[in-house]
Amino acid sequence: MDANPSRRVTARPHLPVVLAALAVMVVAAAVLPLGYVIAATIDTGWSTAAALLFRPRVAELLTNTVLLVVVTVPICVAVGVTAAWLVERTQVPGATVWAVLLAAPLAVPAFVNSYSWVTAVPSLGGLSGGVLIASLSYFPLVYIPAAATLRRLDPAVEESARALGATPWAVFFRIVLPQLRVALAGGALLVSLHLLAEYGAFVFIRFDTFTTAIFEQYQSTFNGTAATMLAGVLVLLCLTLLVIESVVRGSARYARIGPGVARRAVPAQLGWRYTPISLLFLALVIVASLGVPIVSVFRWLAIGGWAVWNWDVVGSTLTQTLGFGLAGAAVTCVLAFPIAWISVRHPGRFSRGLESSTYISSSLPGIVVALALVTVSIRYLHPLYQSVPVVIAAYALLFVPRALVNLRAGLAQAPVGLEEAAQSLGVAPLTAIVRVTLRLAAPATAAAGALVFLGIVTELTATLLLAPTGTRTLSMQFWSLSSEIDYAGAAPYALIMIVLSLPMTYVLFNQSKKAAGL
């Protein structure tokens, strides 16, 4: 009884200085893009900034971007929650198969999805096209945490509500939905950030958002100031979303009160009336988000025949992509490690500060990170401009949180008690960390690396802007071929990206079974 959890908290050892210094350095680098935008805005001066910002074009971009977010996010939430509820809480036929299929659209990069739809329905465009493609690409970001939370909710709470006279619908809206608030707020934030950051998908359907406009501005005129001012507005939008999310989430904690393990809920019967409608809904979602891209890619492969498989180019593209992916994953995991260690072993204000800084900076769109790195490397580190280290740095900045979430979970699975046990068996402290803690965290580290790796494989925006001349990655190759309307030539690269991304979906799906949220 004496071994209460509070002992572990009070007996907290001192923060290791070297580790803390490393973590602070990583965070400082992560804050760089934000600092760059602020510094550049101050540099530009008010009158120039005003001239660049208050013009009809910016108003149009702002309208487009805000409308995109305002329309797409509710659709994603509605689709995600409905799908999650059907799969987790009803006797819909084939629930286990649907559960996996609904997460799978994440394996299709949004720009590949857009390419598939545009080549199937060429009239697609504008806001409606953007909303359609974005909803189909991003609803799993709501579905996965919602399903995970539904699975963990204590059914006893819902049963008590029923016993108090609430109808099933009332239970859903008054009991279940409020408990999903944290998961939904997190999922909606992820969707919004993706909407702000996406480039390729919207270029295909000629829908202008801030990100596409910044890219265009930068590429057509190399007008750094104009692009940076637009980036400033984009950053403000991002920060606004972070604030909205934290307000919506509130300080709510929907933990289970009471001891013991929660039972699984008894799945609701849909009956003869709702079963066909539910199946139709799920089938429509899967066909539109997964079926269309796959059929489309294979259609183009069939049209192109063997000719599109230029094995030399495919081989070198694949090799380069794997190289970038592996190097980026390794660097990102190493950089995330000190932060993860401190947040698990020395929780407190310092660790929370570290985590939230990396979180804020990596919620900035890839285009902003890329612009910042371009400017910094041109001005201060010229030899590094358009070099591999800068690309890797961009990947690390963008994907540190993905690694962090996994590393933290992994380290949390190796309690200090095991290290102490190893020491009492005559093993030196550092050896104990290697033989016990790192060994136990190895699967989670592998998952962290895999997620970062697959993020890099399908990254387009920062890669286009930063990669050294002559670089050919899968996403770049796909992009340049499809931009030249060589849809058949682009198809092999789309297929390889989808196949490579499938494991990521699997990892995410498995992870969600263990911890709520992404």
Partner 1 sequence: MTYALEVQRLDKSYDGAPVLRHIAFGVEPGSTTAIVGPSGCGKTTLLRLIAGFEKPDNGTISLTGRVVAGDGWMPPHRRSVGYVAQDGALFPHATVGANIGFGLPRRSRKNSTISRLLEMVSLDPSFASRRPDQLSGGQQQRVALARALAREPELMLLDEPFSALDAGLRATTRRIVADVLAQARITTILVTHDQPEALSFADQVAVMSDGRLAQIGTPREIYATPISIATAQFIGDAVILPAHIDGNRARCALGDIPVALNNIQGKCQIMLRPEQIDVTTNSIGITGTVADIEYLGSEMLLAIQVDTTNNAAPQMVTVRRLGGATLLTPGKRIGIRVLGEAIAYRN
Which residues of the shown chain bind partner 1 in the complex (CB under 8 A)?
A: 1-4, 7, 10-11, 415, 417-418, 420-429, 432, 435-436, 439-440
Structure tokens at 512: 């969600």
Judged by CB, which is closer to partner 1: 181, or 435? 435
Taking CB atoms within 8 Å and a gap of at least 24, the contacts of 313-322 are 313/472, 313/477, 314/492, 314/493, 314/496, 316/472, 317/472, 317/473, 317/474, 317/477, 317/493, 318/474, 318/496, 320/471, 320/472, 320/473, 321/456, 321/457, 321/473, 321/474, 321/475
State the minimum distance, in angstroms, from the CB of residue 431 to partner 1.
Answer: 8
CB 386: neighbour CB atoms within 10 A? Answer: 16
Judged by CB, which is closer to partner 1: 12, or 352? 12
Judged by CB, which is closer to partner 1: 439, or 513? 439
State the minimum distance, in angstroms, from the CB of residue 436 to partner 1.
Answer: 6
Contact between 377 and 390 (Cβ < 8 Å) = yes
CB 434: neighbour CB atoms within 10 A? Answer: 13
CB 221: neighbour CB atoms within 10 A? Answer: 10
**Sequential DSSP letters for 393-429:** HHHHHHHHHHHHHHHHHHHHTS-HHHHHHHHHTT--H
Closest to 61 (Cα-Cα) out of 246, 301, 233, 248: 233
State the minimum distance, in angstroms, from the CB of residue 516 to partner 1.
Answer: 23
Q: Residue 184 and residue 75: Cα distance in Å, rounded?
A: 12
Closest to 353 (Cα-Cα) out of 27, 19, 26, 25: 27
239 CB-near residues (< 8 Å, 6+ apart): 360
Alpha helices in 470-516 (DSSP H): 474-483, 487-514
Judged by CB, which is closer to partner 1: 7, or 253? 7
Judged by CB, which is closer to partner 1: 323, or 417? 417
Q: Residue 456 and residue 479: Cα distance in Å, rounded?
A: 15
Judged by CB, which is closer to partner 1: 74, or 429? 429
Sign of CA dihedral 149, 113, 244, 228: positive
State the minimum distance, in angstroms, from the CB of residue 272 to partner 1.
Answer: 44
> What amino acid occupies position 267?
P
State the minimum distance, in angstroms, from the CB of residue 339 to partner 1.
Answer: 24
State the minimum distance, in angstroms, from the CB of residue 448 to partner 1.
Answer: 18
Judged by CB, which is closer to partner 1: 122, or 426? 426
State the minimum distance, in angstroms, from the CB of residue 228 to partner 1.
Answer: 48
Q: Residue 193 and residue 73: Cα distance in Å, rounded?
A: 10
Judged by CB, which is closer to partner 1: 206, or 439? 439
Judged by CB, which is closer to partner 1: 74, or 443? 443
